[in-house]
Amino acid sequence: MESYIGRMRKTLWTIDEKDFEGLLAEGFDFSLKYFALLILIGSALTFALALFRTGFDLLAALIGTVFMTLTYAAGIGIILPIVSHLLITALGGKRPATDTFQMYFYASTPSLLLGWVPALGQLSPIVSFGNAFRGLREINKFPLWKALVAVLLPSLVYWGAWIILVSGLMALAG
């Protein structure tokens, strides 16, 4: 059994698409615990940075961290895997939904561990997207275009909705 740290190291950036197949070996329960651990670590790091950025305003840092944690957990952990799996099934994929969820859980490693780092954090979702694309392509044995549709379309919709939500909240806040 590979440790959580070993999984993090392997999924921060993996070159070989065959590595993604091996990620499913531990099963859904392990990957869900792994994802929850990533959420906790990422949230703690985000909170620490937010606390520093707000001049140690505890309430502002807490509100920002809770908002980011909930949107990431709901987006990467629920919305993206569900929409992607529906598209994968429509495109002829035969893998169970749990495999799609696991790929997203592992693919999220760069975003959740490095998202709080200034400058690098803005690039980490691109690496996570690449991991999801390559992982889902590999486990479903999809050609390039099917994998792009299954990962790119849900991601564009999710991030578009997230930008609209944040913009709306900022407009309400004045």
Burial of 54 (0-12, 13-18, 19+ CB in 10 A): middle
Domain that residue 68 falls in: 4-173
Give me the pLDDT at residue 159, please.
82
Burial class (CB in 10 A: 0-12, 13-18, 19+), 152: middle
Q: For the whole model, what pTM was predicted?
A: 0.86
Closest CA to 40 of 116, 101, 98: 116
Cα–Cα distance measured from residue 22 to residue 88, given in angstroms and rounded to the nearest whole number: 20
Dist CA 169 CA 171 (whole Å): 5
Q: How many domains does the chain have?
A: 1
Separation between Cα atoms, residue 58 and residue 71, nearest integer Å: 20
What is the pLDDT at residue 34? 93
Beta carbons within 8 Å of 7's beta carbon, 6+ residues apart: 23, 34, 106, 109
Report whether 138 contacts 17 (CB < 8 A).
yes
Residue type at 132 in one-letter notation: A
List the pLDDT tens digit at each of the 174 positions of the chain.
458 787 787 777 666 666 776 788 889 999 999 999 999 998 998 899 889 988 889 998 999 889 888 888 898 899 999 999 999 999 999 999 999 999 999 999 998 888 878 788 888 888 888 889 999 999 999 999 999 999 999 988 888 888 898 888 888 876
Question: For residue 122, what are its two tokens?
Answer: 């803005």
96 within 8 A of 124, measured Cβ to Cβ: no
> Taking CA 173 as the corner, what is the angle to CA 171 and CA 156, rounded to the nearest 5 degrees?
45
Other C-beta atoms within 10 Å of 39: how many? 19
User: How many other C-beta atoms can be found within 10 angstroms of the C-beta atom of residue 92?
Assistant: 10
